[in-house]
């Protein structure tokens, strides 16, 4: 059993070193203009597009660009985001999506002339939380960690020190589309660049506990 446990740890370590290749991902609501160069995604965000369901505003939209891959277990995902935000609600970041009624989108959003760290959590209806930044930033790092039935969201200005901005429920043991999202609800589009996108496999916590309890 010890050999089995060690083999499992070796496999997990190998998987954890694998980064995502952008060329193998796919679009939901593909924008008109985009390109991948040196594993960096640049796109012009579709005008008048967004993700939101019902609450507060009374409408549902599901039409913004989302470039994703699919993962079935626990993972960490992060990306560096640089955008030329222009008008109210211009936004870019990560999305974790099960379906049209269950998703988390999180990143940076331009509201009333200020940069905000923004997270929308949707389970049939959407909610919205923001952290307003004191000053404009040239770029932001966003990281999300999916563990069991929760997603922890963090931000960083240097990819070294990360600060939690949200902890939200998301159904576990269910495949999740994870990737890069931009939205432009009010404007005519803007340009955004996503760099160093990486998804790191994390060992299933329940399985690791079982292995430890049953190791000989």
DSSP codes joined into one string, the chain: -HHHHHHHHHHHHHHHTPPPPGGG-EEES--SEEEEETTEEEEEPPTTB-EEESTTT--EEE-S-EEEEEE-SEEEEEEEEEE---STTEEEEEEEEEETTEEEEEEEEEETTEEEEEEEEEESEEEEEEEE-SS--S-EEEEEEEETTEEEEEEESSSSS-EEEEEEE--SSS-EEEEEEEEBSSSS--EEEEEEEEEEEE--HHHHHHHHHH--
State residue 115's pLDDT score: 96
State residue 16's pLDDT score: 44
From the first residue on, what is the mean pLDDT of each consecutive set of 10 residues in the chain (216 residues)?
Answer: 44 47 95 97 98 96 98 97 97 98 98 95 98 96 97 98 98 97 97 98 94 88
State residue 19's pLDDT score: 54
Q: Domains of the chain by range and CATH?
A: 2-201 (2.60.120.200)
State residue 20's pLDDT score: 67
State residue 215's pLDDT score: 86
């Amino acid at each position: 059993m010890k050999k089995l446990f060690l083999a499992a740890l070796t496999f997990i370590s190998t998987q954890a070193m694998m980064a995502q290749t952008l060329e193998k991902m796919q679009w939901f609501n593909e924008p008109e203009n985009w390109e991948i160069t040196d594993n960096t995604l640049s796109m012009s965000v579709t005008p008048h597009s967004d993700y939101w369901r019902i609450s507060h505003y009374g409408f549902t939209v599901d039409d913004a660009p989302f470039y994703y891959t699919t993962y079935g277990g626990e993972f960490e995902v992060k990306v560096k985001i640089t955008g030329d935000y222009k008008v109210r609600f211009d936004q870019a970041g990560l999305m974790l999506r099960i379906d049209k009624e269950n998703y988390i989108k999180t990143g940076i959003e331009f509201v009333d002339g200020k940069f905000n760290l923004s997270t929308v959590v949707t389970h049939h209806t959407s909610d919205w939380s923001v952290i307003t930044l004191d000053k404009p930033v040239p770029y932001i790092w966003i990281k999300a960690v999916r563990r069991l039935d929760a997603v922890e969201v963090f931000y960083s200005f240097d990819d070294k020190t990360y600060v939690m901005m949200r902890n939200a429920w998301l159904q576990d043991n269910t495949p999740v589309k994870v990737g890069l999202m931009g939205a432009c609800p009010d404007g005519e589009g803007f340009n955004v660049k996503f760099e160093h996108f990486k998804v790191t496999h994390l060992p299933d916590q329940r399985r690791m506990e079982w292995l430890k309890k049953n190791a000989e």
